[in-house]
Structure formats: structure tokens, C-alpha cells
Chain A
Amino acid sequence: MGDILSLVLKRLGYGLITLLVISVIIFFMVELLPGDIAQAVLGQGATEENLAALREQMGLNDPAPVRYFEWLLGAIQGDFGASIISGERVSSVIGERFMNTLFLAAYAAVIAVPFAITLGIIVALLRNTLFDRVANVLTLTSISSPEFFLGYILILYFSVKWGMFPAIASLSQDMTIMELLERTFLPALTLVLVVTAHMMRMTRAAIINLLASPYIEMARLKGTPPWKVIVRHALPNAWAPIINVVALNLAYLITGVVLVEVVFVYPGIGQALVDAVSKRDFPIVQACCLIFAGTFILLNLAADVGAILTNPRLRHPK
């Protein structure tokens, strides 16, 4: 077991370093601004006095590394500073929105993951049949469509034409869970469509790759019935690739969610990010980027750790 532990620790350490490097990139990229933040906030016409006052107020006169560590220390405690447009605390702007985004992503994932993996395995077993070809064309079409295309089509039919679900996913505190699920159904469905296609294709490839292993042929030549070949011989070795597929697609959800939130005017962190980018509200941009990147890294980390933990060669060392 020592091997596994050290591998997992190594991978964790590597993830942590990556996150740290990314925080450096996110912070210092803003330093690349022509002029500085104060200049960006006040625009070209600002007077020297105003600039100086703002710099003083924002602590911009400290050297960059000092400000980086202050920012990082704050970020670890959940404090990302204040918005330079409204002056609100960043954490209060994005805190609740982050939970909303997580809810939407989880909603989509709960539907998409079991659905996509089951379908992916079925398609892999029926490979080169008509069903497989049709599925191939459909999934290719789905992953080729921009999220906003799928989103608007759903709005057009489910909401405008048939009036089954609301087009705008506005949330309020006193909603019941059923109302919540209904309100967010269309954005979740959009995400499901995109992610399912990706996940199906990847699962199919992983399973087909696995079925080509000599030990699968050996199992067949031992007279093992087809279902048992899959359950007993393929599945125990399929966990690592499947975990990988799931994690990669959850990570993909994180990005897809930004566009979907904008289409459905969903009060999530993605919309906050887009607003902040167009208003050039850097503390919010930085906070959102760090949160998205952190989640992304965490998921990849989970996939790798999962792969390590389910690898029989590592579970039973020599």
C-alpha cells in the first residue's frame, strides 16, 4: 500500500503546485495592464491627483509580490477583496452565485453521467452496427453545436412554442425543490445534451480499447458468455478510463456553464464573470477565474487519484 500512498501524495502535491502557479498567472496577468488598475478604472482622462488617491486607497503602492501574497492569503480565507466598480466585497457578490452554479452543474451531472456511460457502453458493444453509426452522427452533431444554439432551440420549443418550461431561470429564496428543478430544467438539459455526447464518445472509445486486450480474447476462448466477459473481465479494468471520462466531462461542464447561464439569465458565477469582464472589474474576474481553475484542477486530480486507486497492479504490489 505504500506505493499507492506515495503516488497519491505526489499527485496531490503536483496539483497544489499547479494551483499555485495558476494563482500567480491570474494575479500577475492583471499587472500586465497598460498603465495600472487605477488607470483602467478611471480611464485616460483621469487627473494625477485622482489616480494617486485611488492607488493609495487600493494599496497599489505596495510592490507586486507583497500584494500577491496578501491577495492569496485572503483568497484562501475566501476574501477576494472588493469590487472596483461597486465597492462590494467580492465574496458577497459571488458566494451565493457559486452555490447556484454548483447546483446547476450537479443537476446536469446527475442526469448525464449514468445516462452517458450506459449509452457509451451499449454503443461500444454494438460497434459498427447501424445503431452505432446513427449514434456517432448524433453525438458528433451535438458536440459540434455551440451551447447557445442548443439552449435557444430548447427555449424556442419547450418554452415559447409548447410552454412547458420557463425560458428564464430566475431563482428566489422561497422556492420549493420541485419548483427549483422545474425552473432550472432547460439550462440543465442543455448541459446534459452537450456533456452526454462527449461522455458517450469517450466511454465508447475506452471500452473498445479495453475489449481489444488479449485477456478479453482469452476470456472468450475460455467459453465465458458475453455478459460475463463484460462484467467480470472488462468492467474491473474499465474503472480508471471511466473515472477519467467522467472527471474530464465534469470539468467541461464548468466551462459550458458560463454560456448556458448567459442564455438562460441564470444567477450563477459564470454570468458574474462575464459581467465583470465587460466592466473590467478585475477583483471579481480574478476570483472567478481562480474558482473555475481550482475546480477544474480538483476534478482532474480526482480522476488521477481514482485511476491510481483502481489500478490492480498498484493495489496488489509485488
Chain B
Amino acid sequence: MSVFVITYFGLLIATSCAAAYWNQRGPFLTLFSLTLVSFVLGIVGGAGALRFVAIAAGMIAFAAGISYAFREFLVLITSHNLSKEIKTAPLTASFGMFVIFTYAVAGIFAPWIAPYGESEVISSAFAPADENMLLGADQLGRDMFSRIIYGARNTVGLALLATVAAFLMGAFAGLLAATKGGWFDQVLGRIADIIMSIPSLIFALLMLSIFGPQVIVIIVAVAIIYAPRVFRLTRAVAGNVVVMDYIEAAKLRGEKTWYLIRREILPNSTAPLIAEFGLEFCFVFLLVAGLSFLGLGVQPPTADWGSMVRENATLISFGEITPLIPAAAIALLTVAVNFVVDWMLFRSSGLKEQ
């Protein structure tokens, strides 16, 4: 029995007793079932398994702490109305906001944060981490850490641009279709159906094979692929608004389409559209990362998370986790956005799910 194992169980049992004493039913059940599971795990997997559990629990507690602090921080610095909303956010959502905030800082201030340039060769290929290089070097001897920081700018920036393009196209068409109705609506709907019946990755590959892997092609391709999805949602959201009597009243007054969209429909559709923007960003981000991973996205030497995974994949067979870091960066941001969207959708759906 090592000191670690004794502290581990001691801590668990002490906290579960404390929880039971103060009548905290949820925490007690969680802690005590974790204690029981740990007995089994300890016997089967030894101290190593327990250490894994301890690290995971520590990380979750750390994330929860940061999320809590960040939420309080947001409540303090935002205006009264906004802070009232944020107070109701679950920890997952504030964790998401914290991650998004961090990525934004990393992306915007990349040249100041990163110790080296993104394509600067500073050591030998696959050199291990040392005091100069936090995460070691990549297959050409460039600093991994710097490239990951720059990747926040390149990869996220590209996905964001593509999402905005898709969103503007789709939302505009959707609003117009809902307002105009008739054959215009029908035709746009059919076009959207057709585009959506081609799997997105396949469609992107087709376009890239023809026009070559350039940034502008990626943006246009993504916009064409995702605009129909945005179109459908906007059409549905605006469709619910268009049937309202106040729209009929405005039409009968003789108002023009543009006035209807701007003053009557848009103010009533913003909440679901913002949530949709977050969701679309996740899809686009994963697609762009996938394309880069296949070597058909952002081209070298630009630092990009998807291509970094591909270029350093061989390290995995030596048991190294470095190539997984850019992949984890992709997953973390997507999770973060999804957490925030999840909360926003819950807010806008109100009591429906109860």
C-alpha cells in the first residue's frame, strides 16, 4: 500500500462522510459510488488505474473551479441584463465561454504569445521537449507550441470566415424565402434539398479536386455546402414569424419586403439564429479540420491543426501524445461551442423539455 493509495481512499471516504453529514445527497452518492468503484479498480488495475482516476477527477475539479470563477467574473463585468442571464448558465456553459475566450486571445495575439515563428526551423526533426520548446519539435524541427498558437489563428479564423459566408448566404435566402413565399420559396427549397443530399465531406472533396486546395476555394465550398442548412433553419424560424398577424398587418399596410425582414422578422428570430451560428461553426470547423487532415485543406507551411496531426502521426506509434494535442485543441473548441449552444438552446426553448 503506497502513500498515494492511502491518501486516495482516505480523502474519498472523508469527503463522502462530510457530504452525508451535511445532507448533500447528490455529492454523497457520487463520491461514495466512486469509492466503491475505486476498490474494484484498485484491485484490477493497481495504483496506476487509481492515479488515472485521481488525475481525471482533479482535472474535472480544476475545470469546474475555473468555470465557476469565470462565470462570476462575467457577471461582474457585464451589464445588468446580461449578467442576470449569465447567472443562470450551468458550469458547462461558462467552461465553454472560458475556452472560447482563451482561444480568441491566443488567436488574436499569436505573434506575441508564440516564442517562435510558425515556419521557423529551430532544431532537428521530432526533437523532444526542452526548456526552449514546451512541446518539442515537429517533423521539420519547428516549435510545436508556437505552431499550435498560430493554428488558433489560422484554423479557427478560416472556419469562422467560412461559417460567416455560409451564414450570410443561408440566412439572407431563408428570410427572403419566408417573406416572399410562392415559387421563389419553392425553388430555393428544392435547390437546398439537392445540395443537402450530397454528403458534405464528399461535396467538399469534389470541389477541391477540381479547383485545387486553396483557402478561397475552401471558403466558397463550405459556404455552398452549409448555406442550405442555415437556409432551412432560417426559413423555419422566419416561417413561424411570418404567419403572425403583425406581419399580415404590415403587408396590408403596403410595407416593402426589406422593411418586413429588417423591422418585423429579424428582431424575432435572433435568438435561434445565434444558436444556429454556433452549431454551424462546429460543423464547419470539423469539416475544415478533416480536409486539412486529409492534406486537402490549408497548405504548408501555414500552421494548421488538422495538417499538424497528419504530419506528426508517425509519432503515435512510438507512444507519443504530441500529435494528439492539435486534435485535442480542435475537440476542445468544438465542445466549448457546443456547451454554450446547448445552454442557449435550452434558454430559448424555455420549459418545453421539462
Contact = CB atoms under 8 A, between A and B. Distances in A.
Tell me, yes or no, whether A and B come into direct contact in the complex with CB atoms closer than 8 A. Answer: yes
Interface of A: 18, 21-22, 25-26, 29-30, 32-33, 127-128, 130, 136-137, 140-141, 143-149, 152-153, 155-156, 160-161, 167, 208, 212, 251, 254-255, 258-259, 262, 273-274, 276-278, 280, 282, 285, 288-289, 292-293, 296-297, 300
Contact of B205 (A22, A128, A285): A285
B332 to A, nearest CB: 8
A318 to B, nearest CB: 27
22 contacts: A22-B197, A26-B206, A29-B206, A29-B210, A145-B335, A146-B327, A146-B330, A146-B334, A149-B331, A152-B313, A152-B316, A152-B323, A156-B319, A255-B199, A258-B205, A259-B294, A278-B295, A282-B210, A285-B206, A292-B198, A293-B199, A296-B197
Contacts of A148: 290, 293, 309, 327
Contacts of B205: 258, 273-274, 277, 285, 289
A149 B327 contact: yes
A153 B324 CA distance: 8
B338 interface: yes
B339 A18 contact: no
B290 A259 contact: yes
A199 to B, nearest CB: 16
Interface string B10-46: 0000000000000000100110000000000000000
Contacts of A141: 331, 335
Contacts of A208: 353
Contacts of A160: 316-319
A25 B294 CA distance: 23
Centre residue among A152, A262, A277 by max chain B CB count within 10 A: A277
A258 B287 CA distance: 12
Contact of A127 (B30, B202, B353): B353
B294 A274 contact: yes
Given A155-B316, A282-B209, A285-B206, A293 B198 contact: yes
B199 A296 contact: yes
Interface in B184-223: 193-194, 197-203, 205-210
Contacts of A273: 202, 205
A297 B197 contact: yes
Given A22-B194, A146-B289, A152-B327, A140 B335 contact: yes
Nearest to B201: A255
Contact of B209 (A25, A128, A276): A276
B197 A300 contact: yes
Contact of B338 (A140, A254, A255, A285): A140
B353 A277 contact: no
Interface string B298-327: 000000001001000100111101011001
Contacts of A33: 210
A150 to B, nearest CB: 9
Contact of A296 (B198, B309, B338): B198
A156 B324 contact: yes
The 9 A-B pairs at the shortest CB distance, nearest first, are namely A144-B334, A149-B327, A277-B209, A145-B331, A144-B335, A255-B199, A255-B201, A292-B202, A293-B198
B250 interface: no
A32 B316 contact: no
A256 B102 CA distance: 29
* Chain A interface mostly: helix
A22 B294 CA distance: 24
B30 A137 contact: no
Nearest to B282: A144
Contacts of A32: 210
A262 B294 contact: yes
A140 B342 contact: yes
Contact of A144 (B203, B313, B321, B338): B338
B52 to A, nearest CB: 11
Contact of B324 (A137, A152, A296): A152
B271 interface: no
Nearest to A259: B290
A285 B209 contact: yes
A161 B309 CA distance: 19
A145 B209 contact: no
Centre residue among B29, B194, B294, B309 by max chain A CB count within 10 A: B294
A191 B18 CA distance: 42
Contacts of A130: 26, 29-30
B24 to A, nearest CB: 13
B19 to A, nearest CB: 14
Given A277-B294, A289-B205, 4 more contacts: A156-B319, A208-B353, A251-B199, A297-B197
Contacts of A143: 338
A140 B341 CA distance: 11
A297 B321 CA distance: 39
Contact of B290 (A22, A25, A147, A156): A147
Given A149-B331, A259-B293, A289-B206, A161 B194 contact: no
A159 B300 CA distance: 30
A146 B293 contact: yes
A47 to B, nearest CB: 23
Contacts of B208: 277
B100 interface: no
B86 interface: no
B286 interface: yes
Nearest to B336: A144
A130 B29 CA distance: 11
B328 interface: yes
A255 B26 CA distance: 41
A208 B351 CA distance: 13
Contact of A156 (B309, B321, B339): B321
B144 interface: no
B342 A136 contact: yes
